[in-house]
Amino acid sequence: MTTDAVADPMPPAATHAAPIATPGSNRLQRLMEIRVGIIPLPIYLLLLGLIAAFSFMGKISGEVTVMIAVLVVGGFTCAEIGRRIPVLNAIGGSSLLTIFLPSFLVAHQLLPAPLVQQVTTFTKATNFIYLFITAVVVGSILSMNRQVLLQGFVKIFVPLTAGSVAALGVGGVIGWICGLGFWRSILYVVIPVMAGGVGEGAIPLSVGYAEALGLDQGAMIGQILPLVFFGNLVAIICCGALNSLGKSRPDLTGNGQLQPDNGGMAEDAQHRAYSSVTNIDVATAAAGGITGIAIYVFGTLIYRLVGLPAPVAMLFLVVAVKLFRAVPASIEEGARVVFRFFVIAVTYPLLFSTAVALTPWHELVAAFHPANLITIVATVVTLTATGFYVGRCMKMYPIESAIVNACHSGLGGTGDVMILTAAERMELMPFAQVATRIGGAITVTLAIIAMAHFKVL
């Protein structure tokens, strides 16, 4: 029952003299080798029973140990179900179900209220999405070849820019055909989809629009927000389909590597990034993890001083660390091990907590107006397809280039996690952050200027 998207093959067991075991203990050991995600089956059933008992008694605790148990069980349960649904599993079913099933259950009061309350409080209080992004961004960048890293960051802006322009044109035309109007489609549908999420996209966009038009900001955000959620859903489906394409056409993908490297160094680095084998000790892995946290905290200081979002500042800082060889290879390896741990063990629990606490089902459903749906699908597909073909022309791996472009229509950092989970390419997180954060900021700025000039209602 192992969830393939996140679990690595188990290493061979060490050869040693085994203690004499009873038939009952042998059966238990065999059951322990069956897993739901990362959880041995007997442990899974025990935790499931305990969580259910405490929830229905109204005694579920919000302490971190209990919350880890709840999120791990919830996340890997949804992922396992999604992996086993035909057709859906070909388009990222594990991530789709982990994102939207809990949201549906919360909206229809099918999860115990005490559990929902504690998960929501824990998720909002800890904001551990940023810990996840820190581990993934720092670990993936430090695992890269320096030359490939620099070339990738320079080249990715070409398919990203081309895709954004093409998506604006196609989305505007399709919206006009559907009766929304050309400029209204661009400003009220296409731009919100590419704005970079909620906190750094939809909210500043709604404030800018409301000020330009003299309208209520609350009503404006209510109009924009559902479109952002649906755009993220379309991007998840597109990237799940791209992942399936990559499995049938391996010549089109670098399996998380953005571009080929003729010298073979990038390929070696990529194998190292995916590997679960390491010869470093626990202290060095911990040193790699705290190095990433220090870089993020430094990014928060930059945010306080100049207003650059902390994840973006962190991105620039860790690239500088890599380019200037500021940390030794052992620390880089430690950061890689932490990165692999978060990808394997934390991705689905994080998606589950986000779905319960931060993904409003009714707002997603509110976007299901036919004209909006068609326009959003056309926008995201154009953005993704342009990334595929332009990336191919620039000798990048087209599937990876398309996935990064699709992240431009993601729901901020959370959306990047969702999209890259469906694509099974978490190594692209640094480039996804460029598409979401920087691309979104540019999009929002230009859109507010355009709205102030044209005042489209």
Q: Is residue 8 part of a domain?
A: no
Residues 105 and 223 in one domain: no
| Residue 263 confidence class, pLDDT cut points 50, 70, 90 | low
Q: What is the average pLDDT across 111-118?
A: 91
Residues 139 and 34 in one domain: no
Which of 158, 125, 144 minimizes the C-alpha distance to 391?
158
- Residue 2: what pLDDT? 45
Residues 95 and 148 in one domain: no
Q: Which domain holds residue 233?
A: 129-454
- Computed on alpha carbons and rounded to an integer, the radius of gyration of the chain in Å comes to 22
- Residue 199: what pLDDT? 63
Q: Is residue 5 part of a domain?
A: no
The overall average pLDDT reported for the chain is 83
- Residue 14: what pLDDT? 38
Residues 150 and 228 in one domain: yes
Distance set, CA 355 to CA 190, 358, 364 (Å): 24, 6, 12
pLDDT tens profile 372-421: 899 999 999 999 999 999 999 998 999 999 999 999 988 777 788 889 98
Q: Which carries the bigger pLDDT value, residue 57 or residue 271?
A: 57
Residues 119 and 134 in one domain: no
- Residue 412: what pLDDT? 76
Judge whether 149 and 322 are in contact, CB under 8 Å. Answer: yes
Residues 308 and 411 in one domain: yes
Q: Is residue 378 part of a domain?
A: yes
- Residue 13: what pLDDT? 38
- Residue 58: what pLDDT? 84
The residue out of 126, 159, 176 marking a domain boundary is 126
pLDDT at 335 over 80: yes
Q: What is the average pLDDT across 270-283?
A: 64
In total, how many domains does the chain have? Answer: 2
pLDDT at 193 over 60: yes
The residue out of 126, 158, 175 marking a domain boundary is 126
Which of 3, 16, 442, 423 minimizes the C-alpha distance to 237?
423
| For the chain, percent of residues with pLDDT exceeding 70 | 88
Q: Is residue 9 part of a domain?
A: no
pTM of the full structure: 0.76
Residues 140 and 98 in one domain: no
- Residue 200: what pLDDT? 67
Tracing tokens 């909210």 back to the chain, one arrives at: 203
